[in-house]
Structure 1
Amino acid sequence: MIRNVFNFINLHNGEEKKDKVLENVISNISFRGSNLWILACAIIIASIGLNVNSTAVIIGAMLISPLMGPIVGAGFALGTYNFSLLKKSFKNLLIATFVSLTVSSIYFYVSPFKDVQSELLSRTSPNIYDVLIAFFGGLVGVIAITRVEKGNPIPGVAIATALMPPLCTAGFGLATFNFSYFFGAFYLYTINCFFICIATFFVVKFLQYPSSIIDSKYEKRIRYGISVLIIVMIVPSFYLAYNLFNEKKFTKTAEQFVQKEFENNGYTVIYKKINYNSSPKTIDLAFLNKKFTDNEIASFNKMLSDNGLADTKLNIRQNDTDIKSEIMSEINKFDNNISEKDIAISKLRQELDTYRVSDSTLLKEIEILYPNIKNISYGKIVEYPLTDSARLQFTLVYSGTEINQEQLSNWLEKRLHEKNIRIINSDTK
């Protein structure tokens, strides 16, 4: 039974001949001629995808990228202790990296659109999850390479390990002189390359590819070196993952605070920005029509610590010009299709609400009290008396038998808490 289980999961089943696999790996390492042109085109496509925030375009660029070749070659070279192959793989990987950075930097330098989109921003802060994706993606890739029938995992590995977008993001950092973006994205690219290489190394050792050296002491030194490099690469990613966890926790707590203190009390939030990386951390809010006093704002700030938001400042934006500029800035970051028309529509809807009478039972009550009238219409209209100002007046228009308009007017004043109600019989000429 146990033997059958081991045969079922045996990685040697369906394995391609080792010399043929090595031949295929070596043939995909070199970056010359067509491979270099394909890489440059893929870099431009990925850069455009990041520039316009298009996930589909970025995925397309990853599928045609030939960057996996020298990385897998380096893994095979380490696994077989073939240092001439390792040297060749590193040389071609450096060429590919240099070309990619150059092409993406030139593109972003000449591009008129230099806004930081969400797709680009997500490649600037790698963490332990990126390590896991690169490692297990590399495992899938090298297992597929060593099979007689390759199947379809290779395109998925190219998408999952995402070598192109970090390189393009690093190019964006160079083009805009934003070196925090450059180092963050280049670290993610390094993580992906390194752990794909390490995954390849483990599979090659497990499948027992022939070694180019015999000295066991030398093998141990290489293994120790790889172990140290793994620790060096993983430790910063753990730290970044810890920061990401704290940021997500802070954001969730801030969202709950805003909902409890404002949204649940009927205040419509039209702008919200939570900044974890500032010192102190900030929560910026703006409301549709509510204005808070300085004392109220100070009181809300005192509540922050009691709600798990220590070292945080609440800013309530109440200047119309500032609010509009902030809203437009956030909209442009996440959706280029939204324009000032949407803000204008929101204002028009707000104005429309001042003319609307939102009382679903009023019409039924009038019909019960005054069964002889029909075709009832009512609402608020702007009246222009012989003064310098205008005023809203509730107006009811009906047709049918004449009724006691004064009585109806008095009832409506008390019912709607309105003054100067006007009643019009449309049948009266």
Structure 2
Amino acid sequence: MQQVIVIGGGVVGLTSAWWLLEAGFGVTVVERAPEVASGASYGNGGQLSYRYVSPLADAGVPLKAIAWLFQEHGPLRFKPELDLRQWTWLASFLGQCTASANRRTTAKLLELGELSRSSMKGLENIVSPDDFAWRDAGKLVVYRSSKLFEQAAGKATAGEIWSGAECATREPALAAARVQLAGGIYNNGEAVADCHAFCVALAERVRLHPRFNGFVQADVTRIAATGGKVVGLDTSVGAIGGDAFVLAAGIESRNLAAHVGIRLPLYPLKGYSLTAPIRPGDTAPEISVTDFERKVLYARIGDKLRVAAMVDIVGEDVQLDPKRIDSLTRQVQETMPHAADYGRLSAWAGLRPATPNSAPIIGATRLSNLWLNVGHGPLGFTFAAGTARVLADLMLEKAPPFALDMLALQR
């Protein structure tokens, strides 16, 4: 039985571990934090958006980004770094900012989204939806600009088109913003859930699997390779060997791959989330809501409201920026003033490992036994099950369920 070492204990690493175990591999998971899902998987938006997968890069985005930088409460912040990786990523991102590139990538991500939906469905007998507050909530994208709403409605190939009044009627949490809304597009079948709780529950199932060799809490300090293959990991608790290695360590994958001369086109997009308890009598959203212009996501997860927003291009900085938190809090209270107990807000920030075109990287490298499952950006929870399934098929030398032309390292 081939022994696989999975580096990373977030949602991507844990789903990878499960699918590999089920495929017949022995698996060890190496995670540097004391608990699983302590990084980007911890406080994310909680939306499983299988149809709303449009890449960040699109025609017109560069001009919008410039405008956002001058907005006090804008969704984007940028801090130049003396780091070639930042500028290389930005140059590649700008190259993807065309309508044709966006259409091609969106089509591929929709395929991956459908695979992820069915793959998550297949986990229901392994991890109960009740364990992670899963709800088939549907997703409503609301627009404040009539022009943007009309453009989006004209392009929509699925979903229901609602007026601003209908948005507030069908989702009462939006009542206070009713006069500001031009309209919205609603899709059923989209879900919300607690990503961290999902990871904790899945980790327990992984732990009990007969082919699982255990979790190792350790910092990987070096990937050692010779003769075209990885020979082991140098870690804070000693050397770890195996037959194959899977890199699924979020943004840290970029640094680890560099040990063996592999450049991963990843950059950390810092995002923030707020979580507030929902009291009896609060009007929290039943539908998952995305405020398109403000780039703010709202989701009821169990008895809490989760709000996620913002893209800060500031390097590997996970510190909470009080100004950003205050700005987000004001926007939330303005849009949904009665949705939760904002006096007991908790704030979080995490680094979303993004590729320039928003498509994750799955599959082989030039080293025969080093595999990748990285670069999911803000859709790690959405795509994790699908990319894990693809990875297991590739490592078994099975044909993938669809062409991976835009999901491989060389694209």
Q: What TM-score range do you get, normalising by the shorter chain?
A: under 0.3
Larger radius of gyration: 1
Structure 1 length-normalised TM = 0.20
Higher RCO (C-alpha under 8 Å, 6+ residues apart): 2
More strand per residue: 1 or 2?
A: 2
**TM-score, normalized by length of structure 2?**
0.21
